[in-house]
Amino acid sequence: MSALAPTPSSSPWTFQRRLRIYRLEAGYELLKMLRLPMYSVPALAFPMVFYLLFGVTFGQRGEMATHLLAGYGAFGVIGAALFGFGVGVAIERGQGWTEIKRASPMPPSAYFTAKIFMSLVFSALIVAGLSALAVVFCDVRLPGVSWLALTASLLLGALPFCALGLALSYVCGPNSAPAVVNLIYLPMAFASGLWIPIHVLPEWIQTAAPALPAYHLDQLALAATGLTTQESPGIAILGLLGFTVLGLAGAHLGYRRSEGKTWG
């Protein structure tokens, strides 16, 4: 009978064990995605290939090369977050993998923390790669503080897109998720000025751009490099926070709606 007596309702793990769950979950999440060329190759290579094409081959220097560094940096980290979360979570739920995890005693936060970690590592690799290209081929020179500010704004600025990706994962099924994410990601990147600087784009796109989360991240990254921007960093941060709340609310709603949808 003693085996049936309820154990105290404290956590079944010590702090060290809990830490170990988070560490292993994050490590294997990263390993899983790095080994998945369908994800890792486009996530890491596309921003750098674009920078090589539009920055290096056009012989951009100075201000324009810095502009493109911020833009393709934002483009890269947004892609890693939207695909890692939106497509990744949708697929794992569709395959029933999420349900196996839910039936285990894994703390649900470990699952999401691991995905955030994975997307941050990809973001860091993208930012490092782009920065190296910018320095070596385009003679981009920034003060140390600016490099730090640029890296920090791109890494932290990826978080709202993790939340938006998570919300998208509940809207789309596992099969449609890659297409839906691309349909949102690519036009948004263009209209936010990530590929071609926003001030070169038509007036009406410039007017509409603040409705897009990517625009705010680009503005924040530009401000970090010391270039002149259309909106102040404070407004950009507020915009990104707003989209984070929107993403989390959407994800919460989607999670509650999805309960019990799959059965047999």
Partner 1 sequence: MTPVSSSSDGPLAVARLDGVTRTYGPVVALEGVDLGVERGEVLAVLGPNGAGKTTLVKLLLGLLRPDSGTVRVFDRDPSHRHSRVRTGALLQTGSVPATLKVREHIELFRSYYPAPRPLDQVLSLAGLSGLAERPFGKLSGGQQQRLRFALALCGDPDLLFLDEPTAGLDVEARRALWQGIRELVARGVTVVLTTHHLEEADALADRVVLLAQGRIVTQGSPAEIKDRVDGRRISCRTRLPVAEVASWPGVLSAEQDGPAVALLARNPEDVVRRLLAGDSDLSHLEVRSAALEDAFLALVADSRRETPNDSPNDSSNRSKEVAA
User: Does residue 1 interact with partner 1 by CB under 8 A?
Assistant: yes
User: In which residue are the tokens 């999670």 written?
Assistant: 255
User: Does residue 24 interact with partner 1 by CB under 8 A?
Assistant: yes
Mapping DSSP onto H, E and C, the string for 209-256 reads: HHHCHHHHHHHHHHHHHCCCCCCCHHHHHHHHHHHHHHHHHHHHHHHH
- Assign 3-state DSSP to the chain and report helix, strand, coil percentages, each to 5: 80, 0, 20
| Cβ nearer to partner 1, comparing 107 with 210 | 107
Q: What is the DSSP letter of 107?
A: -
Asked if residues 251 and 257 have their Cβ atoms less than 8 Å apart, the reply is: no
113 class by beta-carbon count within 10 Å (0-12 exposed, 13-18 middle, 19+ buried): middle
**Which two tokens mark 202?**
């038509």
| Cβ nearer to partner 1, comparing 57 with 176 | 176
User: Does residue 183 interact with partner 1 by CB under 8 A?
Assistant: no
| Cβ nearer to partner 1, comparing 200 with 261 | 261
User: Does residue 200 interact with partner 1 by CB under 8 A?
Assistant: no
Asked if residues 209 and 231 have their Cβ atoms less than 8 Å apart, the reply is: no
Q: C-beta of 124: minimal distance to partner 1 in Å?
A: 21
User: Does residue 17 interact with partner 1 by CB under 8 A?
Assistant: yes
| Residue among 179, 163, 166, 181 at smallest CA distance from 255 | 166
User: Does residue 41 interact with partner 1 by CB under 8 A?
Assistant: no
User: Does residue 16 interact with partner 1 by CB under 8 A?
Assistant: no
Q: C-beta of 21: minimal distance to partner 1 in Å?
A: 5
Question: Stretches 16-24, 44-52, 66-74, 164-172: which one binds partner 1 (CB under 8 A)?
Answer: 16-24
**Cβ neighbours of 209 (radius 10 Å):** 21
| Cβ nearer to partner 1, comparing 35 with 144 | 35
As a whole number of angstroms, the distance between CA 80 and CA 215 comes to 17
Question: Stretches 25-33, 68-76, 183-191, 201-209: which one binds partner 1 (CB under 8 A)?
Answer: 25-33
Among 94, 178, 197, 254, binds partner 1 (CB under 8 A): 94
User: Does residue 103 interact with partner 1 by CB under 8 A?
Assistant: yes
What residues line the site for partner 1 (CB under 8 A)?
A: 1, 3-7, 9, 11-13, 17, 20-21, 24-25, 28, 31-32, 35-36, 92, 94-97, 99-100, 102-107, 259-260, 263-264
